[in-house]
Structure formats: C-alpha cells, structure tokens
Amino acid sequence: MPASILDGNKIASEIRSEVAAEVKALSAAGMRPGLAVVLVGRNPASEVYVRGKVKSSEEVGIYSEKHTPSEDVTTLELLDLIADLNRRDEIDGILIQLPLPPQVDSKKVLRAVDPAKDVDGFHPMNVGFLSTQRPGLVPCTPAGIMELLERSKIKTAGQEAVVVGRSDIVGKPMAMLLLNANATVTVGHSKTRDLPGVCRRADILVAAIGRAGMNRVTDPREFARLYAGNAKREETFRSKGSVLVGDVHSEVAEVAGAITPVPGGVGPLTIAMLMSNTVKAAKMRRGSRVAELSRV
C-alpha cells in the first residue's frame, strides 16, 4: 500500500491560526510580539526566504521589520546592530539570515543575539536548554517536524528513529527532540558504515543530509533518473524547466507508512514555527505581564 501523505501545508495552517489568536490576545493588552530580520547583501535565495518570513509575520499580526546592511558590512557593524535590537523591548525575536558574507564572523554574530530573542534556537544557551529539557527556543525545522509527527498521531515513544545528518541547525537538535520524546535515536552521516542498512531499520527516518536536499533539478537526465513515469512531475518539468527535489527518492513511498512531500511537507512548518517561536519568546520575555493578563 502506498504511503499516506503527511500534509505540511495543512498543519502549518493550523499552527498559524493558533499563533494569530495568541498574537491578537497579546496585542489587545499592548504586548504585540515583534520580529526583526537581518538580511545582509542581495543573495536572491535569502531574499525569497526573508520575504516569506516577513509576509507570514504580517498575516498572523506580528510586528516585523527588516534590516538590510550592505554586502561589505563588518562584524563590528553587525554586532552594533544586534546590540541595538537586543535593547529594544518591542523586539521579541531576532533572526540573522544565513549565509553571511565571508568577512563576517558568523559564529560571533549569532552568539551576540540575546538568547531570549534567539527565535532560530542557534545560541549555545538555547542548545543547552534543549539538551537538558529546560524551556527555551528550539530550531524551527526540527520543531516543525515534531509538530508534524504529534499532530499526525505518529508515535515516537519507544520507536527507533534515525536522523541522517548532523548539522547544528537540523540534525543534532532533531536527534535531541526525538530523544526527549522517548525515541531510541541513531544519528547517521556521511561517514556512517552501512548507512542504507541503518536507515532500513528505522521506524522514523528524518533525512537532513542535504543530498539532494531542497534543490531544483534542471538537468533532463537527472530528472529522468529520479522521476521517469511520474506524470505530474513531468508536466511541472516541461512547464517550468525544473522541479524541487527532497532528500528522499520518491520510490520510498512504496515501502513507507507515511511520507512528507516536496514541496508542501516540512518547508511550510519551518516558517510556521518561526512565528510560533516569536510568540513564545514574547511570552517568556514578558512573563509577568502575560501572567497578569491571564488572570484578568
């Protein structure tokens, strides 16, 4: 039986509706959550991502502002901008769009963000909170995957989970979230012996190794290797000259119980969780005022 499709668009829409309701309540009490996005230079892919984040903020009622330093910005200039955003009480979340230009010390810049405003969950303090199961801000993509599993009623406790990829942004926090949810977790990567065998034994498989990743296939020979006979994909390729491809070959749908599509799987959840994290940051930062509101 073909795999059931886990609809990321539907679940992301549910999360955005919940966030919008929280934003409305907070705004009515004069505590509208605020998000600042820092986009350096004119990277076309980054500009697309940032437009999506700003648009989503507006749709759920979050105040948002975009800062666009030039491509030749220095580390010191970025640190000054972040220090200013850290001081501003109306800004609850700060997002530094990666990648940064080579002359910028990216790690120093990310560490400079106030952990309470680190809506990407990259700060070492938030990493520590995650590993010790304390309240904090969690990277958006892994958090979105957990929401997808929970809202799709896919059991994690006692299951064998394999995460392929060990990045600080997705692989490691994903493994920690699954472990915190009582799964038995293996992290596979490019140096893992018999990686296919490790993947085959998984009850839950999270592919985050970035090959092929969220890329566009434009080569007709590569498209034919991946999607020959897939009429819907062939029509897209003919009309657009490319298709989006994820980490997992489409044939896995013949053996999996459930699968996320590309596009429309995890991607929409990443931005939905950024919105959720911004509201969470606002509530954690302004905790006493939110508690007072809830008693009214």
Give the model's confidence band at 78: pLDDT under 50 very low, under 70 low, under 90 confident, else very high.
very high
Is 175 a residue whose pLDDT tops 80?
yes
Please report the pLDDT score of residue 122 as a whole number. 94
Please report the pLDDT score of residue 36 as a whole number. 98
- Report the percent of the chain where pLDDT is more than 90: 69
The better pLDDT of the pair 293, 273 is held by: 273
Using omega within 30 degrees of 0 as the cis cutoff, is the peptide bond preceding 124 cis?
A: no
Is 292 a residue whose pLDDT tops 80?
no
- Report the percent of the chain where pLDDT is more than 70: 90
The better pLDDT of the pair 266, 45 is held by: 266
Domains of the chain and any CATH numbers: 30-116 (3.40.50.10860), 140-211+247-266 (3.40.50.720)
Give the model's confidence band at 293: pLDDT under 50 very low, under 70 low, under 90 confident, else very high.
low
Please report the pLDDT score of residue 290 as a whole number. 55
**Per-residue pLDDT tens over the stretch 143-161:** 999 999 999 999 999 999 9
**Catalytic pick from 92, 97, 117, 172?**
97
Of 122, 151, 115, 109, give the one whose Cα is nearest residue 272.
151
Please report the pLDDT score of residue 270 as a whole number. 94
**Per-residue pLDDT tens over the stretch 108-146:** 999 999 999 999 999 999 999 999 999 999 999 999 999
Is 226 a residue whose pLDDT tops 50?
yes
Known catalytic residue at 120? yes
Answer left, alpha or beta for residue 176, where phi above 0 means left and psi between -120 and 50 means alpha.
alpha
Give the model's confidence band at 30: pLDDT under 50 very low, under 70 low, under 90 confident, else very high.
very high
Per-residue pLDDT averaged across 76-105, rounded?
97
Is 272 a residue whose pLDDT tops 60?
yes
Known catalytic residue at 97? yes
H-assigned helices in the chain: 8-28, 44-60, 75-87, 106-112, 124-131, 140-151, 171-180, 195-200, 220-227, 231-240, 267-285, 287-295
The better pLDDT of the pair 169, 294 is held by: 169
Q: How many other C-beta atoms are found inside a 10 Å radius of the C-beta of residue 153?
A: 6
Please report the pLDDT score of residue 247 as a whole number. 63
Known catalytic residue at 24? no
- Distance (Å, rounded) from C-alpha 102 to C-alpha 110? 14
Is 1 a residue whose pLDDT tops 80?
no
The better pLDDT of the pair 99, 179 is held by: 179
**Catalytic pick from 92, 114, 120, 247?**
120
Q: What's the mean per-residue pLDDT of the chain?
A: 89
Q: Note the pTM of the prediction, 2 decimals.
A: 0.85
Is 212 a residue whose pLDDT tops 50?
no
